[in-house]
């Protein structure tokens, strides 16, 4: 049986083998993840079609693959030890010291798990002697090398600790200045490319305002327990208010919800709000479809699910495409003020920031209020300055008086 790469969507041409979770001959169960394929947007998992074992890995870590390309061979059922010995993987059949015709050394042959462990430990494969068939470097070989390196480091530490330095004297030591050079992941490279494109293509400006969060905070404090009980444990957060305020403002300012397609302006009759989520692999922007028709509880549920799927690397392509407006919340990391970058082909992005108590003047008196700075970056090719300012003020008004959202005023 053959294990093939998944069928990629039209917007994705190829992917890269990121991680093999199994070794040749290792028994797996049905639907167990065998390999991760990293694309420009998401990481796709390839699972076992049945109980059995991978008998041969065809495409190793770092190889670029296309839709339905052969990744490995698979045998259903229990694989005996003799079968494992007689059917080594493609990598195992390559000697460690093999060189190409022009004299350039080929990367040492190693099992996928060994390559992964060596990369994480910062140990070059060329320094490890393989004990497997044909000089194959196994996971145990890497573990031994890691243990040896730790022993050397411990001895050096003990030696340094035993050296007494008199107060007032200077001990000249050569500190380790370690550098690691690793290739960008495809997702990180795509993010970098899109950020540069956004700044080079759009006439991007940012306008700022501040919002008094007293009304929303009092509303949450008063109803959070009842809200959670009424909606099966869903917590009432701030993001749902910002999504609803944005959708109402977008209805009043359709140019902010539009996009530019060459020489055409595309006005969208719906509000699909992208919510920027940070993950271990980089920033992803899942989209809440038809956000204007969702309740606060439904929005909070959707954001929670997207956050969990982003952390697990399980977001699908369709969940991250087609947004008309984006909200980015740098406040969760403590950001007080920033200028968010557009998410092409969208023409505006809203930046939320940290809530901080500050003195403000109200009715001739100085009072302390929980304030948040808002930032709206927009494409000046389509959105005029006065329109952007009025749009942001509209969001501010909705947030400071949440009842306006319900009353549609």
Query: Which residue out of 141, 225, 380, 397 is catalytically annotated?
Result: 380
- Residue 231 pairs in a beta bridge with none
Active site residue 21: no
CA dihedral 335, 339, 341, 342 (to 10 degrees): 120
Q: Is the bond preceding 345 in cis, omega lying within 30 degrees of 0?
A: yes
- Nearest partner of 45 among 79, 96, 5, judged by Cα: 5
- 27-28 and 52-57 beta bridge pairing: antiparallel
SS3 letters across 98-128:
CECCCCCECCCCECHHHHHHHHHHCCCHHHC
Instruction: Give every CB contact of residue 366 below 8 A, 6+ residues apart in sequence.
Output: 359, 360
Q: What angle do CA 235, 236, 240 make, to 5 degrees?
A: 125
Which residues does residue 349 pair with via DSSP β-bridges, in sequence order?
A: 326, 377
Q: How far apart are CA 132 and CA 153, in angstroms?
A: 27
Name the catalytic one among 212, 312, 384, 408: 384
DSSP string, 218-286: HHHHHHHHHHHHHTTT----SHHHHHHHHHHHHHH-GGGG-EEETTEEE--SS--EEE-EEETTEEE--
**Token pair for residue 71?**
């990744």
Catalytic annotation present for 380:
yes
Whose tokens are 């080929």? That residue is 106
- 3-state class of 30 per DSSP? coil
Cα distances (Å, whole numbers) of residue 29 to 1, 75, 76, 111, 181: 15, 12, 10, 20, 36
Active site residues: 380, 384
């Amino acid at each position: 049986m053959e294990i093939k790469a998944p069928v990629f969507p039209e917007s994705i041409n190829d992917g890269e083998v990121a991680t093999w979770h199994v070794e040749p001959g290792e028994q797996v169960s049905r639907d167990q993840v065998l390999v991760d394929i990293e694309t420009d947007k998401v990481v796709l998992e390839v699972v076992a079609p049945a109980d059995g074992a991978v008998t041969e890995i065809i495409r190793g870590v770092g190889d670029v693959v296309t839709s339905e390309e052969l990744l490995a061979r698979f045998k259903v059922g229990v694989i005996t030890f003799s079968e494992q010995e007689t059917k080594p993987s493609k990598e195992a059949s390559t000697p460690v010291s093999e060189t190409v015709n022009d004299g350039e050394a080929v990367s040492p042959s190693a099992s996928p798990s060994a390559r992964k462990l060596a990369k994480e430990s910062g140990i070059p494969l060329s320094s490890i002697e393989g004990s497997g068939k044909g000089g194959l470097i196994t996971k145990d070989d890497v573990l031994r090398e890691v243990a040896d390196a730790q022993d050397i480091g411990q001895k050096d530490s003990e030696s340094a600790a035993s050296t007494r330095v008199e107060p007032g004297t200077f001990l000249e030591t050569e500190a380790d200045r370690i550098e690691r050079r690793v290739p960008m992941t495809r997702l990180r490279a795509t993010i970098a490319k899109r950020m540069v494109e956004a700044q080079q293509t759009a006439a991007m400006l940012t306008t700022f305002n501040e919002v008094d969060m007293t009304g929303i905070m009092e509303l949450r404090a008063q109803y959070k327990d009842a809200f959670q009980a009424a909606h099966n444990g869903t917590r009432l957060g701030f993001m749902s208010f910002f999504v609803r305020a944005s959708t109402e403002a977008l209805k009043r300012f359709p140019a902010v919800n539009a996009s530019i397609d060459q020489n055409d302006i595309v006005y969208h009759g719906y509000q699909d709000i992208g919510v920027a989520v940070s993950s271990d692999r980089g920033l992803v922007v899942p989209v809440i479809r038809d956000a204007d028709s969702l309740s606060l509880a439904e929005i909070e549920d959707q954001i929670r699910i997207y956050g969990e799927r982003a952390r697990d690397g399980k977001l699908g392509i369709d969940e991250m495409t087609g947004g008309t407006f984006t909200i980015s919340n740098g406040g969760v990391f403590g950001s007080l003020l920033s200028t968010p970058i557009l998410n092409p082909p969208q023409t505006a992005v809203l930046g939320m920031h940290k809530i901080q108590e500050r003195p403000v003047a109200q009715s001739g008196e100085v009072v302390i209020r929980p304030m948040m700075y808002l930032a709206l970056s927009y494409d000046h090719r389509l959105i005029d300055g006065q329109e952007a300012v009025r749009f942001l003020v509209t969001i501010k008004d909705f947030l400071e008086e949440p009842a306006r959202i319900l009353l549609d005023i």
